[in-house]
Structure 1
């Protein structure tokens, strides 16, 4: 059935693209100063005809949003939300989830903009979600997964954080902090998105916890996770501290 595409509306601060989706799956990519990566990443994702892309840009000073806006004009599978200033990873994804649900997406991905999430794993995540799970996590720590070009400190923080979260929350997952994911629509509908409180590193932990709380199925597929190709990491000590604290709050029912 043909779908009528409305005239392109490139959103301004805190407004959204008004067009419908023309694919069953949507890949959400939050951005802040990713102009060096985003135009190379978009065609790699769009190589898969069943996928569309939603970029959620937090007012990038480097013009990332403007670059994506130009792609919106050219490609009906590229969508954009432009937000007024840096508001954080968690709120970016929640905005993307709402956008996807409002447009009847059946599968919704989370993906980083910096090529640490290789697009070649998108079919693996989608297949696992279609066949077995309500949430699929691209895992660095199951058999076949791994990291490359990581220093010892980063490895210790990542592995230690996952062990810490797994022990406190009792979730049988190897990589709760992994941000390369695919949700079935039903998983996001089962969660109270208004109740999500984490906005940094712990956002991924909270989302996995909420999906399990809802009695849904969570699985993992292996990925190799390299360091970002260009640009600076947005990880900070404050983000790590928030994650440690929020895991305890989740366990105690304070979030």
Structure 2
């Protein structure tokens, strides 16, 4: 069991409240109110990201300052052993819309995802847009999610393998292992997704809270898609470009183990 510790933002969120915005839109432009951009938070699971987290939060905050809806960054530190948590606390003084939560002990990627879901819902965001905290996902790709979010799609996945998405600086072995695994998942599971294993995604918080995931590690991404498909949720994909990590000393925050691949196959062939 992960024991979370929360730290509330030190000031008000920097953009207009969505209730006020939607009320004004509905009164003056009824046809447009259904197409407004929903409120959303950027959800960052972090573990030992001291080398990258400051640039990550700074760059995302800069992008969010241009977005015409209520936004924030929610960061869950999953028991980091480096200076990640202290850096986040310092960043919160600079960025008042940064909402922090900490696990006293490392609970794994899946546990961090569930805490992110809870905090996003508690703060009233309609969507949580999950990104890695290592800077490999450029903030300008956030805008690609806006159109399907306006259509209230339940789960929008970023894809490296369709619609113009690609990877840069990744070894061909890693690329083709990932590509083959995702092709197999698409064929067997029959879902309109090309990039099952990608954690860069936007999900309606109401839908996310209903998905009863239990996995501890990265396999939670496959479990989530599997359960969402069984529950009849809607899907869409948007393109993005994955780049290799540039921060020297920034190691993977959540490690892969061979058991993950067995669990991956379990969900692919599960009926």
TM-score of the aligned structures, taking structure 2 as reference length: 0.80
Aligned length: 237
Aligned: 1:217 with 2:237: no
SS at match of 2:52: helix
Structure 2, unaligned runs of 5 or more: 16-38
- The structural deviation recorded for 1:215 is 1.3
CA distance in 2, matches of 1:55, 1:107: 15
Equivalent pair of 1:16/1:80 in contact (CA under 8 Å): yes
Equivalent pair of 2:130/2:199 in contact (CA under 8 Å): yes
Aligned: 1:207 with 2:197: no
SS at match of 1:163: helix
CA distance in 2, matches of 1:21, 1:166: 42
Choose from 48, 54, 75 the match for 1:55.
Answer: 75
CA distance in 2, matches of 1:158, 1:146: 12
- The structural deviation recorded for 1:242 is 1.8
SS at match of 2:225: helix
CA distance in 2, matches of 1:144, 1:252: 30
SS at match of 2:153: coil
Instruction: Give the number of the structure with larger relative contact order, counting CA–CA contacts within 8 Å between residues 6 or more apart.
Output: 2
- Partner residue of 1:245? 263
CA distance in 1, matches of 2:56, 2:127: 19
Query: Residues 98-155 of structure 1, C-alpha deviation per residue, up to 9 Å, x if partnerless?
Result: 1111221111111001111111111211332122521111100112100000112211
- Partner residue of 1:154? 174
TM-score of the aligned structures, taking structure 1 as reference length: 0.84
Choose from 252, 256, 266 the match for 1:233.
Answer: 252
Aligned: 1:15 with 2:11: no
- Partner residue of 2:114? 94
- Partner residue of 1:30? 45
Structure 1, unaligned runs of 5 or more: 1-12
- The structural deviation recorded for 1:251 is 4.3
Choose from 181, 200, 207 the match for 1:180.
Answer: 200
